[in-house]
Each structure stands twice: as C-alpha cells, then as structure tokens.
Amino acid sequence: MAKTIMGKIRSNETGEGQATLGTFLFDCLKKEGVTEVFGVPGDYNFTLFDTLEQYEGVKMVPARNELNGGYAADGYARVKGLAALITTFGVGELSAVNAIAGAYSESVPIVHIVGSPKSQKQKQQKLMHHTLMDGDFDAFRRVYEPISAYTAILTPDNAMVEIPKAIFIAKQTQKPVYLSVALDLVQQPIAVKAPKLTPLKTSDSSLKSAMRHARKMLKAAKHVVVVSDAQVKSWKWQPLVRDLAQKMQVPVATTIMGKGGFDESHPNHIGTYGGPTGSEGIRKIVESADCLIIPGYVPSDTNTGGTGSELNAKKIIAIHPTSTVISGQTYSDILGADMLRELTESGLTAEEPIPAADYPYDSEAQLAGSHALTADEYYPLIQRLLQPGDIILAETGTFAYGMSQLQLPQGVTYIAQGGWQSIGYATPATMGACTAAPKRRVLLFTGDGSLQMTAQELSSMMAYGCKPIIFVLNNRGYTIEKHLNFRTPKDQQPYNEIPGWDYLKLIEAFGGQAYTQRVHTVGELARAFRDAEHQRSDKLCLIEMIVPNGLDAPEYLQQVSKEMERQEKKS
C-alpha cells in the first residue's frame, strides 16, 4: 500500500526533504553505475529491502541463498566494475563468507551490506536470534576484517562519511568492503558531513627511479616478453598493456589467472604460459627472456605450474597496482597505470620478430561424428563457435583447465576463479554477468558436480529473464579431483562420485521455460550449439554433454596432475 501511495523515491530525500541513511546508500551505489543489488531477505534487513523497493534506478535481484548471491555479485562486478550484496546479520552474512573471500582473493570489488538488530538491543547486549547468544554484536564484522578492504558500522551521524569512503576504498583496492547498519537506522535522516577523499597519486621521484632501473634493464636485454597477469583485468589495464606491446613490439603471453586480460586475436599474442604444465614452446619463450614485463603479477601455483616453479625474479619488471618491483627491488607509491604509460613512452623497441603463436585447439574442429564425446574434440569445437564480445564463464574443474587453453576472440570477457577456485561459483556468477550485460551473449561451461552445488540459481535466472547458453559436462563425478588426487587409484575414490541427476528436468522442476538438449557426440553438440543460438533471444538454453569416460579430461589438466606428482616425489 505504501508503495502505491508514495511511488518510487527518485533521490536521497525523505518526504520532508532530508536524506535518509538508506536512500543515501543507494544514491552512492547508483552514482557508481550499480543498477542491481543481489541478496536474500531476512528480518534484520527488511528496512533495506523496503527502502530499495521504493527507490528508483536500483532494483533488487534476490538469490536463492546468500552464498549464491555473493557469487552473483562477483560475476556482476567483473563485468560492470562494482557490485552490491545485501544479507542479514549472522546466519546470512556468514553464508556469504566464501563468496566474499573469493572476491577478496581475486580482486573483485563488492559492497557487502548487512542488516543488523535494532541499535538499542545491541547497546543493551540483548540475546537475540541469529547471534552467538553472548551479547557480542561485533563478532561477525571481525570475521570479515581479513577478507574485506574496509569495514564500518553505519549510523545516521557517520553515513555521509563512511559510505563514500567504503565505496572509494573498494574501487581503489579492487576488494570487497563491509557495511553493517541496524534495522531501525536505515530510514533515519542523516547528518550532513562532506567526506574528504584523496585519490592515490604516483610519486614522481619513485617513478623516475623505477624508470631509470627499467631502462637500464631493457636496454641490456635482447629478448623481452610481456606476460599479462591476473590484475590486468581487475584494474582495467587492458588498453595500456596492448599499447605497451605495440609500441615496444614484443610478444605477449597470458597466464592462467590473467586469461582474457589481453586480446588473444592480437598479432603480438603468442599463447598461455603455464610453467611446466603448459605449452613447452611458450614456456621456452618466456623463461629464456632476458627481461619479463609482468603487469598485475600474481606468482601463484596456478600461474607458475606448481610450487618451486616461479620465474626468475632478477629478470622481472613486476607492475602492481601501487608499486613496481624490478629485479627484486621495490619502488613504492607508483600507480600501475602510470608505470605502464611511462614504459610505453620510453621509446624502447625490440629488434626480433614476434614468435609464432601456440594454441592447442587450432586443429580443424569436427562438426560431425557418431562416437562418444571426448575433450580432444569438443574443445576445438567450442573455440570455433565462440564469437567476439562473448562473456564466457568457466567453472572450476575440468572446464577451467580446458578453457584456459582456448584462443579467445576479440572483446571477450573471460570469467573464472583462477586463484580461489571455489567449485559451484560459475552458475550464480552467470546470473550476475547476465544481469550486468543483458544484451551480450553469455556462455557458461560447468560440470555436473559443480552444478549440483548451486543449481538453485537456474531458477533465479529464468525468473529474472537471464538467457545464457549453459553447457553441463556430465561425467558422473568430480573428474577434476580424481586427477588431482594422484596418491590414490582413481577407481578407489568413491567420495569423488556424485548422484545422477536428470539435468534437463531441472528446468521443469524450477518452473521455467528453456531450450534443453542432451548430446552424446560432437556432431550433436555442434547442432545443439547452433539451435541454442537461435533460441537464446527468448529463453535460457541448457545443453547437457554426456561423456561416458569419467576420466576424460583436457591435456592441460593431465599435465598438471603429472607435474604435481613429480613435484611431490622430488620434495
């Protein structure tokens, strides 16, 4: 009834012309381009939901649980730049911990808003539901401190300072932030206090010192290679890295975590570097270089092919968001974007031609055939059917390893949790990506085990008009885990088997409409892909890929398993 009488709130004002905490919060988010907020209602966040229902320009997209809502916010932020999530105190916010920790690990900015019990109850340390029954209402904020760039408890007195500050920090650090507000304070008028926020700036002296060192190193080098890594995507450095490669005329490899951060159709791109687990040709080019320029460097085991396989630090110019490390020497207070520009304008160019690219799925894809699906055939087919501008989500599992070796078309947004690797992430993240970019083609590649963890969001996607094309690899278990657990024979791992679901009937069970197809051969997969392309404008599409060999896996995953076993025997 109130909604009908009042209509939508168009600004940060109450009926009396004064801003409330809730409307100011949504004003700040809308100003940053956030037009959808994910979350799950609970009795301590009802005033946040009610305020949002009345607010014009930002809408609520409920998830089926808080974990999935966090994953959806992650996918949304990777496409749009910033996301917001609303959960309730205790039970809700703790359900979202894994998703927020993943966003912290992967450098994804999310504003996590928690509705808490009434302020007076907290002051009185009342024993309230959804608490630990000890009167400590700050316990869960402390849980979030290690996985958030900033945490704050909002009040009408501090909201005008704390909300812009938190959003500013989320953007500056590309990390999640945490804001908690009591149920009774959301709709209270706020005190007007102008925040003073100072953006980080590059130190001229530090930049000059770093460039002197870099020039000396580059002038002495005969073989220079750029390796585009994870934080290039987080910090939107793609144009800067492209300009650097073109001006210096040097080859560019991408890492597993950095995939999608450099245009793989560019003539300077040579492929994916994976250390001892990846292409031997790319490995030789990268590791034999006299100088490696690595923007957004994250030397994780995922990128280097295992522990003990790190690149030689003495040869590296590592460009981080707020510092640069050259041959192990750190130059602080340098914004990564400024360092990239300086290197680009240094006038240094390479003398050698760009090596030939190495893409393992460049063989002619089979479009027909009646034998069972295998990784050797369906990955080349997938590469062939991708289009410029696609949004691709690769689930942790065999798909993440196989998709990492594809050559992506121009303008593709590639989303995968290369570092955190939480199984089940990609399906809810797909809802977030579809919500952020409803006009782009969104493709999800997930496994049966992963889908069983977060399948509820198929319901959400159909309910809210998301229309991705979803590929479900049905190999009857956690194939990824079978390969990574090299210590136990693969037929003696009953814990890596899963129940058999009829994935096509999930659509009916969730009460939605979709194009569904079950395929057994590469020919059937090619036809289903084409059919889905015609259907996707009207509905979600789900293609179940039946792979009878439960151990079938891409060559890259098999190499990873062998290298892990070799490293363990060596240690």
Secondary structure of 206-255 in the HEC alphabet?
Answer: HHHHHHHHHHHHHHHCCCEEEEECCHHHHCCCHHHHHHHHHHHCCCEEEE
The residue assigned the tokens 């030939």 is 356
- Return the domain boundaries, the chain: 2-182, 204-344, 375-556
pLDDT at 450 over 50: yes
Structure token digits, residue 1: 């009834």
The edge-to-edge listing of strands for the beta sheet with 110-116 is 59-62, 36-39, 83-88, 110-116, 177-182, 150-154
Residue 308 pLDDT level (bands cut at 50, 70, 90): low
The predicted-structure confidence for 36-59, as pLDDT tens digits, reads as follows: 999 999 999 999 999 999 999 999
CATH placement of domain 204-344: 3.40.50.1220
For 32, residues 6+ apart whose C-beta sits below 8 A from its C-beta are: 81, 82, 167, 171
> What CATH architecture applies to the domain 2-182?
3-Layer(aba) Sandwich (3.40)
Run of H or E including 295: strand 291-295
Residue of 509, 498, 444 whose CA lies nearest to 472: 444
The answer to whether the beta carbons of residues 237 and 337 sit under 8 Å apart is: yes
Mean of the per-residue pLDDT values of the chain: 93
Q: Amino acid letter at 33?
A: G
Residue 194 has pLDDT above 80, yes or no: no
Tokens 């410029």 correspond to 388
Question: Is residue 508's pLDDT more than 50?
Answer: yes
Angle at 446 between CA 443 and CA 448, to 5 degrees: 145
Q: Using H for helix, E for strand and C for coil, what is the string for 425-440?
A: CHHHHHHHHHHHCCCC
Which stretch of DSSP H or E encloses residue 80? helix 66-80
Give the model's confidence band at 466: pLDDT under 50 very low, under 70 low, under 90 confident, else very high.
very high
* pLDDT greater than 90 at residue 1: no
| Intrachain domains 204-344 and 375-556 with the same fold | yes
- 3-class DSSP state of 448: helix
Model pLDDT, residue 5: 29
State which H helix or E strand residue 168 sits in. helix 159-173
Tokens of 255: 């890492």
Pairing of strands 316-319, 323-326: antiparallel
In the predicted structure, residue 8 carries a pLDDT above the cut 90: no
Instruction: Please tell me the distance from the alpha carbon of residue 12 to that of residue 19, in angstroms, as a whole number.
Output: 5
CA distances from 319 to 33, 226, 235, 302, 334 (A): 28, 11, 12, 19, 9
pLDDT band for position 3 (cuts 50, 70, 90): very low
pLDDT in the model for residue 17: 57
pLDDT (tens digit, 9 = 90+) per residue, 200-221? 899 999 999 999 999 999 999 9
Q: Would you state the pLDDT for residue 325?
A: 98
| pLDDT the model gives residue 272 | 96
* CATH topology classification for 375-556: Rossmann fold (3.40.50)
CA distances from 66 to 228, 329, 366, 465 (A): 33, 43, 41, 20
pLDDT surpassing 60 at residue 326: yes
At residue 107 the predicted structure's pLDDT band, cuts being 50, 70 and 90, is very high
Select from 64, 91, 24, 47 the least CA-distant residue to 427: 64
pLDDT above 70 covers a percentage of the chain that reads: 96
The arithmetic mean of pLDDT across residues 393-403, rounded, is: 95
Smallest Cα–Cα separation from 530: which of 408, 440, 406, 522? 522
Tokens 């760039």 found at: 149
CB atoms within 10 A of CB 131: 21
